[in-house]
């Protein structure tokens, strides 16, 4: 019986020289799930994906794949896991040849044309219009979609995406999202997606894992609040969000500490009266998307330079007449902030 987990990390540490790049005590990624990975530059996101391909082994700990410990470049892993990098390399050939290349390498010569046509269709590139085009005749977004199609043609068990929508147009970002969701729907593909775009990541992911300095934070819908923090005599501190707005929190462990607050702890309505100081922030709604698992609406709200994520029930959204572009007031307790 196959493990219900695609990946299970146990006490994993990875180093580059003496620099600890990753320190994950435990991480479980269910089969058929879509996990978003967020975090600042240098937090270990790309290292995490690299370990998931089994192209490198962690210095310490173990990573189980489908419940088993695998070896580097094991065929049972190599033919089941596919990685799309931020700037994938296309062969100096036609779109058809680029999309079919992996199938030929894996000696999967059955129905190549049908597999290529299906993969191109999933990323919104009609076979008749694009199959014969050369690599240099593609826009940046089209090239990224061809690279994704080449991986989808393999019907991978696991698809790892590293900043798949960086520097692509809005249409391509939407096509990449739809194709990724279709892979899960049609083949049960497990997806792990790294992105700096919280709005796009919330649209596609079942949950989001935050990384900071190589450490994993409990998955969920969260907002990361970066320093620097200015301490005050009352054991409180604040960081500037831009536009004259400040976020208050208890004294941080360091000036440049990273704060984290759950979407459940950010409210549209003022909380009950309390002696505890409450953050009151003005922001602009940028995006609303329904979370099919919870039936809650995930709202992305721009507060100064910070993108804040909150969860709102559908009745409140309807009653409040929320829509992208509307200015709203958010409330959050400083005590809800945890430090990474």
pLDDT tens for each residue of the chain, 340 residues long: 567 999 999 999 999 999 999 999 999 999 999 999 988 888 999 999 999 999 889 999 999 999 998 888 788 788 899 999 888 889 999 999 999 999 988 776 678 999 999 999 999 999 999 999 999 999 999 999 999 999 999 999 999 999 999 888 989 999 999 999 999 999 999 999 999 888 888 889 988 888 988 988 777 788 989 889 999 888 899 999 998 999 999 999 999 998 999 999 999 877 665 556 689 999 999 989 888 778 899 999 999 999 999 999 999 898 888 999 999 999 999 999 998 8
pLDDT score, position 234 = 83
Q: What is the layout of strands, in order, in the sheet containing 327-332?
A: 266-267, 327-332, 279-291, 296-303, 306-313
Cis preceding linkage at 228, omega within 30:
yes
To the nearest 10 degrees (0 to 180), the angle between helices 140-152 and 95-105 is 30
Q: What CA–CA distance (Å, rounded) separates 324 from 316?
A: 15
């Amino acid at each position: 019986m196959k493990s219900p987990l695609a990946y299970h990390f146990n006490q994993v540490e990875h180093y580059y020289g003496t620099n600890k790049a990753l320190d994950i005590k435990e991480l479980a990624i269910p089969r058929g799930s879509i996990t978003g990975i967020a975090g600042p530059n240098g937090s270990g996101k790309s290292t995490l994906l690299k370990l998931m391909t089994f192209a490198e082994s962690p210095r310490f700990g173990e990573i189980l794949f489908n419940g088993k410990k695998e070896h580097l470049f094991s065929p049972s892993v190599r033919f089941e896991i596919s990685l799309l990098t931020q700037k994938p390399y296309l062969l100096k050939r036609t779109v058809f040849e680029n999309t079919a290349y992996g199938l030929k390498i894996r000696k999967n010569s059955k129905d190549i044309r049908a597999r290529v046509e299906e993969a191109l269709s999933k990323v919104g590139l009609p076979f008749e219009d694009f199959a014969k085009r050369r690599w240099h005749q593609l826009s940046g977004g089209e090239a990224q979609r061809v690279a994704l199609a080449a991986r989808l043609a393999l019907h991978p068990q696991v698809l790892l995406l590293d900043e798949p929508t960086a520097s692509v147009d809005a249409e391509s970002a939407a096509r990449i999202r739809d194709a990724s969701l279709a892979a899960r729907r049609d083949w049960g593909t497990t997806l792990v997606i790294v992105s700096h775009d919280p709005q796009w990541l919330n649209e596609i992911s079942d949950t989001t894992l935050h990384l900071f300095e190589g450490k994993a934070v409990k998955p969920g819908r969260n907002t990361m609040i970066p320093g620097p923090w200015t301490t005050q005599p009352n054991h409180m501190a604040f960081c500037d969000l831009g536009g004259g707005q400040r976020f208050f929190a208890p004294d941080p462990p360091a000036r440049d500490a990273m704060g984290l607050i759950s979407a459940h702890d950010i409210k549209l309505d003022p909380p009950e009266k309390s002696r505890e100081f409450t953050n009151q922030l003005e922001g602009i709604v940028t995006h609303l998307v329904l979370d099919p698992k919870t039936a809650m609406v995930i709202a992305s709200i721009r507060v100064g330079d910070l993108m804040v994520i909150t969860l709102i029930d559908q009745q409140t959204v309807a009653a409040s007449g929320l829509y992208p572009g509307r200015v709203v007031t958010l409330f959050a307790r400083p005590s809800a902030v945890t430090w990474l």
